[in-house]
Copies of this chain bind each other. A is one copy, B any other.
Amino acid sequence: MDSERIWTAAIVVIGDEILSGRTQDRNVAQIATWLNVQGIRLKEVRIVADDSAAIAEAVNILRARNDYLFTTGGIGPTHDDITVDAIAAALGVAVVVHPKARAVLEAYYADKGGITDARLRMARVPEGARLIENRMSGAPGMHIDNVFIMAGVPHITAQMLDALTGTLEGGAPLVSVTLGAWVAESEVADLLRIAERDHPGCAIGSYPFFREGKVGANFVVRSTSEDDVRACAVDLAKAIEATGLETVADGI
């Protein structure tokens, strides 16, 4: 495995409810955190409406320029669940009922009134797709080529990520150390810039906050090399402490 290669992923969040402000998305943070552990970098995200053309545009652009593409939302049984059809159209394949998905749904609904046309919608997949198990609700996720089609409900997507853990090829996971200090980031901006310059493999992010009536900031040092991250964080901590401030590793 080439340790220098960076594996990337993108997410397309599908949902009018996110764009209307009604629902706070939680899948981006959840999938991003999971991807880090797999050694895959989340590179870009698009949030699009329940609109076939918008979904297809985003899916086709992002799957072409990333190793993996995840979508969330729109795979339920109702009329506004159009993800499967939109992705099949984007990929130029038919929509078929997956026999195993049908069997899973029939078993799941056996004591809940049986299968109906609406419920059968959840067994429809782009032709050639394989299922991603979901022990929670019976409705599976699916993947086809490098496209992974996940649920909108974060708890269900968590189950699907669990089923995918360790199955995707990735590179070295990104590691990070967070330094916190009760300081306005503008006071240490030069120190951050110098530490990043002196440690080429590292990126430093600066995240200010206001808490307990005071100004503070967390400085996150990231790299695929744990040694580089540690060396950079130690240098930065020394530089900040030389100005008379205290720092807290792991952030404030």
Residues of A within 8 A of B (CB): 13, 16-26, 28-36, 41-50, 54, 76-81, 112-113, 116-119, 121-122, 136-137, 153, 155, 174, 176, 184-187, 189-190, 192-193, 196, 203-210, 220, 222
Contacts and interface: CB of A to CB of B under 8 A. Distances in A.
A153 B205 contact: no
A146 to B, nearest CB: 18
Residue from A23, A48, A118, A155 with most neighbouring chain B CB atoms (10 Å): A118
B77 A209 contact: no
A203 B16 CA distance: 10
Given A28-B47, A80-B203, 18 more contacts: A13-B45, A16-B222, A19-B32, A20-B36, A20-B176, A20-B220, A21-B42, A25-B25, A25-B29, A45-B45, A46-B47, A76-B206, A78-B189, A79-B192, A79-B204, A116-B187, A117-B190, A155-B210
Nearest to A152: B207
Contact of A190 (B33, B80, B118, B185): B118
Residue from A22, A42, A222 with most neighbouring chain B CB atoms (10 Å): A22
A161 B52 CA distance: 31
Interface of A is mostly: mixed
Q: How many copies does the complex hold?
A: 2
Contact of A209 (B20, B46, B78, B153): B153
Contact of A44 (B49, B174, B204): B49
B186 A122 contact: yes
A189 B121 CA distance: 10
Contacts of A76: 185-186, 206, 208
Top 6 nearest A-B pairs (CB, nearest first) are A21-B32, A118-B189, A21-B33, A77-B186, A45-B47, A78-B206
Given A19-B32, A21-B32, A121-B189, A46 B45 contact: yes
A22 B42 CA distance: 12
Contact of A29 (B24, B207, B220): B24
A122 B36 CA distance: 32
Contacts of A30: 21
A21 B222 CA distance: 13
Contacts of A220: 17, 20, 22
A232 to B, nearest CB: 14
A46 B46 contact: yes
A86 to B, nearest CB: 15
Nearest to A151: B208
